Amino acid sequence: MEFNGLLNTSLDLNANPLRILDEEALLPKQESDIKAAVKQERGALMEEINRVSAENKKLKEMLSVMCEDYTDLRNQLMEYTSKNLGLDDHDQKTAPRKRKSESSTGNIVDRTNNANGGPCESSSSDEDSFKKPKEEQVKAKISRVHVRTEASDRTLIVKDGYQWRKYGQKVTRDNPSPRAYFKCSFAPTCPVKKKVQRSIEDQSIVVATYEGEHNHPHPSANSSSNKRLTLGNVPCSSSLSSSCGPTTITLDLTKQKPISPQETRHPLSGKVEASELQQYLVEQMASTLTKDPSFKAALAAAVSGKFIQQK
């Protein structure tokens, strides 16, 4: 995947000495020592340009390596996902019985036939296969969505367009953040449940786990709001973050930038245009980097360090 074509990785750090030189060239200077000093400064600045250019090139290379790694990982995920779609039954038969929980491995069970299809649904798991004999044959589809919210926002609200009724909240053992339980209240017969809990690793990320399939149309199918998180009948799950667990998707709700309708589909749904995906990812990466104060600070320190070295 070629991201470089989409990215202008040049860094304008206001370090362009030519502007200064142009101004200086306009000044009438007759003393030869001044000219010599200017010459010397020009040489130093040209050297600085070379250094910055080299650094820029290095950063470009790093970025392209990152992009290649991402592409590799993505391809591996796609292969893994497509392979596993047919392996669920076998895995379940050979697996040991386990407690009903996704906490230890992060795995989430999908015991149905993946009727949602496509690379979005995935994640076979061994657990849960022998327990709950009274459980219905139609076991709920389970998918997981990671949603990035403002860190200061302590509410456990994931706006996915559906209407939810909270029926419980519990503090779990392995996460100090409470877990909220929701039922779909849009249709009385809708069996879908949702669990929402903040990520233990990153409190700004809310993890929403969906169980079941809505038996009614999306309530906001015609409205533009809430479309962003709606990835099909049940919010689509796909992830690069977990190679063997449930597929997940991380969405950044802290950005208010309007998005095009194409972006409402998950990039890995297989139907989205590759160029759109590229652009989306590049925007996400750029946004993340520019928003990161530590990245900015490190960059500023590196650049200022270079200037100080010159003096």
Q: Are 251 and 227 in contact (CB under 8 A)?
A: no
Counting contacts by CB under 7 A, is residue 173 touching DNA? yes
Return the CA Rg of the chain: 26
Counting contacts by CB under 7 A, is residue 94 touching DNA? no
Cβ proximity to DNA: between 77 and 180 the closer is 180
Supply 305's token pair. 């360090």
Q: Of 10-18, 109-117, 168-176, 198-206, which segment contacts DNA by CB under 7 A?
A: 168-176
CB 299 to DNA: min, Å: 41
Supply 273's token pair. 């245009």
Strand 248-252 versus strand 142-148 pairing type? parallel
Three-state DSSP state, 105: coil
User: Using CB under 7 A, which of 42, 60, 74, 98 touches DNA?
Assistant: 98
CA nearest neighbour of 143 among 110, 165, 119: 110
CB 127 to DNA: min, Å: 8
Contact track, DNA, 113-132, x by CB under 7 A: ------------------xx
CA nearest neighbour of 214 among 290, 281, 162: 162
Residues 73, 78: Cα–Cα separation, whole Å: 9
CB 187 to DNA: min, Å: 12
Counting contacts by CB under 7 A, is residue 266 touching DNA? no
Q: Of 4-12, 170-178, 245-253, 273-281, which segment contacts DNA by CB under 7 A?
A: 170-178
Cβ proximity to DNA: between 81 and 209 the closer is 209
Q: Which value, to the nearest 10 degrees, does the dihedral of the CA atoms of residues 44, 45, 48, 50 take? A: -100
Counting contacts by CB under 7 A, is residue 74 touching DNA? no
Q: What is the DSSP letter of 112?
A: S
Q: Which residues bind DNA (CB under 7 A)?
A: 97-103, 131-132, 134, 163-170, 172-174, 179-181, 185, 193, 195
